[in-house]
Copies of this chain bind each other. A is one copy, B any other.
């Protein structure tokens, strides 16, 4: 018999982060059922372009929401109550001119009067549905991070932002692909159904790694005998685009694997 620890609420996690009492290796599996979000903080002058980037490329960049006003680090209640985006994620990366300059436990010093934080959906939201449907993602089975690839697919440009789509990969048998598509299709705020799959899909995306051994981000996976790679849009895309744009100002984001845990539930990102 296993002992279940007291289940943490999203607010518990955020308050622990805020107090500097959170030291888990990642947020994977934390507060199952609640949305974990990618975080990107930009000066307000880029906000319209960033919203347009997301609106024009909703599959890799599903915008869940943003802070309530420039300089105010709180979120709309439908996302998270009593949340300060400067302190409530476990770890932050700070970039200047597209270069990582620091990893910090909060961004109180970096946050400006005109800062706006944007929250982007994450595939964690649909992975429980895959598992519940008998299609547990391989990287969960083998306790690794999901493999991610930079594709050759250009995003539709938006103001100062342009770049390429990043995708995550989970291997399945060809006979399982339609079910994987059906299970993830409703999660429109978390990339939805796969963008492409199989050898033809890999070629269309410009990915040459049939066995899942050489991802650009995350960790190698195992594409086993008879399986094909299945590719979903990935929330690393907008962060990658923002870094590639080499904005001169200081830009902040969550540190990989250390997402902001929202009150919002996974089913709320579904149609």
Contact = CB atoms under 8 A, between A and B. Distances in A.
A205 to B, nearest CB: 7
A185 interface: yes
Interface in A41-81: 52, 55-59
A67 to B, nearest CB: 21
Nearest to A182: B159
Contact of A153 (B154, B157, B188): B154
A147 interface: no
B192 A56 contact: yes
Contact of A185 (B154, B159, B195): B159
A195 B53 CA distance: 11
A158 interface: yes
Contacts of A181: 157, 159
Interface string A172-202: 0000000001000100100011111000010
Nearest to A178: B159
Contact of A154 (B57, B58, B196): B196
Contacts of A158: 193
B58 A196 contact: no
Contacts of A52: 185, 192-193
A204 interface: yes
A160 to B, nearest CB: 11
A162 B162 CA distance: 23
Contacts of A192: 52, 56, 156
Contact of A195 (B59, B154, B159, B193): B154
Contacts of A56: 58-59, 192
A157 B195 contact: yes
A212 interface: no
A233 interface: yes
Contact of A233 (B153, B156, B193): B156
- Specify which of A152, A154, A185, A205 lies most central, judged by the most chain B CB atoms within 10 Å of its CB: A154
Interface of A: 52, 55-59, 152-154, 156-159, 162, 181, 185, 188, 192-196, 201, 204-205, 233
Given A57-B59, A157-B181, 15 more contacts: A52-B192, A56-B58, A56-B59, A56-B192, A58-B58, A59-B156, A153-B154, A154-B195, A154-B196, A156-B192, A157-B195, A157-B196, A159-B181, A159-B193, A162-B196
